[in-house]
A = this chain, B = another copy of it.
């Protein structure tokens, strides 16, 4: 390699991730040079507010609040777009592509929402977009799905994709503290944002799942169409019953081919059997289990967010883009092209699985018989039942039922029927179970 050869790169956004990327480029340029066969030269970093303190030392002249300093410099070939949200991120990305730059981004919301538009633009302009950091932070799941599994039909993918939710769930299990208390602590510790709604209601995981499902199955889904529920409504009682039965509850994102090869997608709190790899993923970690028909099950685990893990993924993309690997992958995969989707979407009501059901019931004889009958009417058979003595005589008790395999639709109908019984108080809690 010519030691003097260099590729000029720029950052848009110098927040948590941007500052981490700047540190890797400036403090550890030898690594990127070794992998890229050239120096990745940080030419500009664009921010809104020039006065803000930055978590990195930039050489004179690098920091700017003028996007034009990047757009108008033809020598800047690759740009990391590291601002969050949809606008102005989307418009900036389009301007960068139009100006002839390849783009690396960590913005999952943008890719999930505008992947087709952005990838079409990049293709037309002969440019590429890389987005490893947008899903699972430091876990290189995008690269693995895009290149390492090329000989496989992926059959299923199940992942813990939201670190905030997993951190909160881990605390709820370990300390027996309800959601509302843990979320406050997670905010204090910086594991949850001031407004954690997208993280805890399943939206963030659904955005990431939409991206992974596109790569793994050729699906084209709007993340808003993915059936989802979050941990924000999870009752500590269900965490306790799950534990008692040998399960851990995780916010699981699932994409799976059904018997008719249609793709079933959902994001929900799910009971996982203790000891299974996904059940053991704790704190802010992310993990993904992918099953390919040739390779069998593969499991990936690592830090799903945080400054340096995310920056690690961004810089790997930057190297791949500078050396030309990304251009090849982007072109051959035809990401979000106008080719028809390779799979059809399954009807969520047909999705097969086991369920955890909990109802508050009167402590009378015959109640279990009525509930069993309601389940039987939906052809659901019972795998196990858990009911403790009432705290005081006559008080309603929690009845927990684990079903055998049934469908989402049947389970939903049965729950409605159970909730309508005289002996049942309130709604029936229903959670997915995976072994």
Contact = CB atoms under 8 A, between A and B. Distances in A.
B333 A35 contact: yes
Contact of A312 (B36, B143, B292): B292
A298 B294 contact: no
A309 interface: yes
A411 interface: no
A331 interface: yes
A323 B332 contact: yes
A304 to B, nearest CB: 10
Given A295-B303, A298-B301, A325 B147 contact: yes
A301 B298 CA distance: 6
A31 B323 contact: no
A337 to B, nearest CB: 11
Interface in A274-329: 275, 277, 280, 292-303, 306, 308-309, 311-313, 315-316, 319-320, 323-325, 328-329
Contacts of A20: 294
A187 interface: no
Given A151-B31, A316-B150, A328-B323, A295 B308 contact: yes
Report copies per complex. 2
A37 interface: yes
A148 interface: yes
A1 interface: yes
A318 to B, nearest CB: 8
Contacts of A313: 148, 295
Interface of A: 1, 20, 24, 28, 31-32, 35-37, 132, 138-140, 143-144, 147-153, 275, 277, 280, 292-303, 306, 308-309, 311-313, 315-316, 319-320, 323-325, 328-329, 331-334
30 contacts: A24-B151, A31-B150, A31-B151, A32-B151, A35-B150, A35-B332, A35-B333, A138-B296, A140-B144, A144-B148, A147-B319, A147-B325, A148-B316, A149-B312, A149-B316, A152-B312, A277-B277, A277-B280, A277-B301, A280-B280, A294-B308, A294-B309, A294-B312, A295-B313, A298-B302, A299-B300, A299-B301, A323-B328, A323-B332, A324-B328
